[in-house]
Amino acid sequence: MPRRSRLLAPVAATVVVIIAGLALAANFWTDYKWFSSVGFTTVFLTELWTRVLLFAVSAAVMAVIVGASIFFAYRSRPGVRPMSLEQQGLDRYRQSIDPHRKLFFWIAVGALAVLAGAAASGDWRAYLQFVHATDFGALDPEFGMDIGFFAFVYPFLRTLLGYVYAAVILAFIAAVIVHYLYGGVRLQNDSGQRATPAARVHLSVLLGVFVLLRAGSYWLDRYGLVFSDRGYTFGASYTDVNAVKTALTILTVISVICAVLFFANIYFKNTMVPMASLGLLVLSAVLVGVAYPEIVQRFQVGPNELRLEQPYIERNIEYTRDAYGIADAEVTDYDATTELTPQELASEADTIPSVRLADPSVISQTFQQMQQVRGFYQFPDVLEVDRYPDTDGNLIDTIVAVRELDGPPADQDNWLNRHLIYTHGYGMVAAAGNLIDPEGRPVFTEYNIPPRGELSEVTGEYEPRIYYGREGAEYVIVQAENEYDYPLDPEEETEEVPTLEDAQEPTPSPTPDEARAPSDSEADSGTEEGTQDETAQDEPTREGADSEATENGGEDGQSQAYNRYEGSGGVQLSSFFDRILYAIKYQEPNILLNSAITGDSRIIYERDPLERVERVAPFLTVDSSPYPAVVDGRVQWIVDAYTTSNGYPYANPIDFNQAVTDTFTDGTAQQVGTLPGNEVNYIRNSVKATVDAYDGTVTLYAWDEEDPVLQTWMSSFPGIVTPRSEMSEELLQHVRYPDDLFKVQREIMRQYHVTNAEAFYGGQDFWTVPTDPTRDTDDPVPPYRQTINYPGGDTASFSLTTTFVPRGRENLAAFMAVNSDAESENYGQLQLLELPRSTVNFGPGQVQNAFDSDAAVREVLLPLEQSNAQVTRGNLLTLPFAGGLLYVEPLYVQAGGGGAASFPLLQQVMVGFGEDVAIGNNLQDALNNLFGEDEAPLPDPEAPAEEEPAEGDAGTDEPSGDQELTDALNEAVEAWEEAQENQEQANENLREALEAIEEALNE
């Protein structure tokens, strides 16, 4: 071959190696820079050095064991090999390999070492938990071991044993190959000696070590019985304790004896000894380890399963309820009244204003149309529910979201715009959950750009820019070009935004013709420039907003303001070398070529709050529902995070993905990074995390400081978790009970509300979570956040609620709620209302069917459904009401079949109580129709309270009085009116009028 051709392959290989090395170095160094920028370098270095340690140790062990085995096999090769066709055939292989045997040796040993090290480095979490194991303070009932042994120590010992097993097996295989290649082991031999004495000794030792490891595995398997699934329930069963445990002990002893026999063959040098030992081991494993337990299970346990398994079922129930935090749930038998007297109805009227009618999954479209401002802003499909005080200090359920930037306009979507100009979203948007304006729109408490509303008045000024969120480009570079900030349209007139000041109950539902889409001008305003955002120009702008726009070039065509980032978020591109690394990382040469990027510029990436928390705390599993809150002058993403384990003895494991899946949550996106298969059998909401939406600061707060799993990780990564006591009061007001934990707990509660072993064995009282009747899906109904008056409680509480139906039926079995108010002493308290099993109470599906089939309801719905309007059923809320359970379902109407310019308007409310259902223009109207307005009309929550008549006044049995009394009353009214203008003089007149009334009554 020509010299140039011969050099081509090495040069190409060198180039590939260099490129791969640069990419690896770029990822490594940029990761370090990122961790340094967020202040979690400890996490990066601890994980790195732990991986390096495990890699080095595992690689060394594999190399030593396999290498020593190959070396001994080669050194003990026979000097003279018998003449045979087999050996003649091997001669040419020996001649080819022998000159390069050292190269082959190092390649084989090195490859195995690298593979072993790479595999072991992935088990760094198990190693750290083993080294920093914390006791749970509770003992396993079978072995008397602390639960921490099963959660932290046992898994690592199994892993360690597995690696040593692999090394010994590979050493044995390598020894057989080398011995065979050099004549130490023969398949054909006239003399009957198929192995040389040296080969027999070598292989016997390796087999002896293997069997000795098997003895250790048998002994360790005894502790693994607490995770057995042999019996009726998870955990050690009767057969496991009384047969398998004994069998494993016997097999341990037999394995040790067989190992001794293998080692003894060093002196016997006879093939029969190891073969007999191996046969004994296999036979005992089959008879003692398999046949004996199967006989006990089939012939002793099978006919008497309930009696024999009862204590083990009780263990499973107890430990499962502890592991998932449902052991302290308060269970109440609830008769679920289905009929009300007028007096009972009137006493419950004060709960009406707190019912959340705004459905976060429906009004997202309304947010999008009314508060999008520009087409490149985005709201999530399902909004979040938080609580904020109104101007009077009363906490109200509030639908919240941030206006995130989805990217530049489609016709301007280039690299410069996406990564340097359109860098951030802008502002919080919020609406009262229990108020709807006369047209059926949500009542906004925070709106427009710059943001304004009652929320701002209560929380004070805050930084509205959203650089970290769930939408937008993978990375942005700030302090380079002037960044698009917000639109300026001072000349345009827009419609008013519904606010708390003008909120009232909805007016009667419009006819199909009236339920129209916005006009063309309204649609254009709503989709392109916002239907109301430009009213913000009549308001004072945020502090510094206009000045920043002026400093950065003022207005562009009087349509938009610009801004330069002044935060500390991201990684500073302080050198040209940094730009090279990030250009390699993102495979983007523009990072190098753009002249606006300087040493002061910062690159912001890993912008999703969930990803940021997962990266700084790789031992945590994050909740699927982060939510924004205004805290201490900043928009903070609040992220719930869990410590999980699959090592809690006797606790029933579940698939975390499946447990958190519902109508609005795709569980496949939720990964338990620390556990194989996403199976957990222990979970705690041990950490509350915050991510600053402006500078990306991540703070981890130890919420459950008593959690042993969290304590183990805090010992592994000291200093990264902040004590709970350092949470600000304002942050604490927005902490809530997490969605995914509640869904996991309700999945467990389906069966483990039954605490009697006999009833659990029968399974007649098991429940299931109903499917969502308002959606065309088989997914479970999501839990709902609402403020409810729980039976027996003194005040209403912010709660997360769900329902259960009996397995195989649709009637209601139970209602479960958890206190979600972090400032309450009852936070996290699970409360369960169990309905009588002997009576039928409508479940969600049955109530929905009653809505759809009721004549009065159909009379209202039919004209809407037959028109071109789109009818959307909102969340079907269930809440305790007057000794029963009240169902409330808002009904939204969207004009034009759900076109791009229309959005849902709440026009009707359907309610159900017992087997009765009704519909009305609003909640009050629907309840009056349900219970009978003439018998017990519910008071309008918006109307002022009526004053009680004074003693002796009209309304008593005494006559209403003569002319003097009438005149005195008139004077009192006039004096009261006059008091509004001249308080001091009017008070005197009022006092005189009241004295006249008293004199008239005494006459």
H-helix segments, 39-81: 41-75
Using alpha carbons, select from 121, 131, 119 the residue that is nearest to residue 155.
131
- The Cβ of residue 615 has, within 10 Å, a number of other Cβ atoms equal to 18
Judged against a pLDDT cut of 80, whether residue 552 lies above it is answered with: no
**Checking DSSP bridges between strand 905-913 and strand 627-631, what pairing results, if any?**
unpaired
Q: Which range has the worst mean pLDDT, 117-121, 300-304, 366-370, 931-935?
A: 931-935
Distances (CA, A) of 191 to 84, 90, 201: 11, 19, 19
The tokens of 260 are what? 């001794």
Judged against a pLDDT cut of 90, whether residue 77 lies above it is answered with: no
Judged against a pLDDT cut of 80, whether residue 535 lies above it is answered with: no
**Structural contact between residues 371 and 444, judged by C-beta atoms closer than 8 angstroms:** yes
Q: Across the strands, what pairs with 819?
A: 799
Q: Write the DSSP assignment of 616-667 as a string of letters.
A: H-TT-EE-S--EEEEETTEEEEEEEEEEEES--TTPPPEEHHHHH--SS--G
Percent of the chain with pLDDT over 90: 57
Judged against a pLDDT cut of 60, whether residue 920 lies above it is answered with: yes
What would the mean pLDDT of 955-983 be, rounded to a whole number? 50
**How far is Cα 157 from Cα 166, in angstroms, rounded to an integer?**
14
Please write the tens of the pLDDT for every residue from 141-169.
999 999 999 999 999 999 999 999 999 99
Q: Which range has the worst mean pLDDT, 113-127, 159-173, 885-899?
A: 885-899
Secondary structure (H, E, C), 743-805: HHHHHHHHHHCCCCHHHHHHCCCCEECCECCCCCCCCECCCEEEEECCCCCCCCEEEEEEEEE
What would the mean pLDDT of 878-896 be, rounded to a whole number? 89
pLDDT the model gives residue 963: 53
Measure the CA angle with vertex 228, ends 226 and 229; round to 5°: 140
Using alpha carbons, select from 1000, 815, 790 the residue that is nearest to residue 354.
790
Please write the tens of the pLDDT for every residue from 685-726.
999 999 999 999 999 999 999 999 999 999 999 999 999 999
Backbone φ and ψ of 815, nearest 5°: -125, 130
The confidence band for 936, taking pLDDT boundaries of 50, 70 and 90, is very low
The confidence band for 867, taking pLDDT boundaries of 50, 70 and 90, is confident
Q: Across the strands, what pairs with 700?
A: 689, 721
Please write the tens of the pLDDT for every residue from 435-445.
888 888 999 99
What would the mean pLDDT of 880-897 be, rounded to a whole number? 87
Judged against a pLDDT cut of 60, whether residue 970 lies above it is answered with: no
**How far is Cα 786 from Cα 817, in angstroms, rounded to an integer?**
10
pLDDT the model gives residue 989: 64
Q: Which range has the worst mean pLDDT, 190-194, 313-317, 807-811?
A: 190-194
Percent of the chain with pLDDT over 70: 80
The confidence band for 617, taking pLDDT boundaries of 50, 70 and 90, is very high
Give the chain's radius of gyration (CA, Å).
37
Average pLDDT, whole number, for the chain? 83
Q: Across the strands, what pairs with 832?
A: 331, 816
pLDDT the model gives residue 509: 38
**How far is Cα 517 from Cα 509, in angstroms, rounded to an integer?**
15
**How far is Cα 829 from Cα 188, in angstroms, rounded to an integer?**
75
The tokens of 840 are what? 């039928």
Residue 566 identity: E
Using alpha carbons, select from 769, 835, 889 the residue that is nearest to residue 356.
889
Question: Three-class SS of residue 933?
Answer: coil
Beta strands in 566-633 (DSSP E): 571-572, 602-605, 621-622, 627-631
Rounded to two decimals, what is the model's pTM?
0.84
**How far is Cα 489 from Cα 317, in angstroms, rounded to an integer?**
64
pLDDT the model gives residue 999: 63
Of all helices (H) and strands (E), which one includes residue 386? strand 384-389
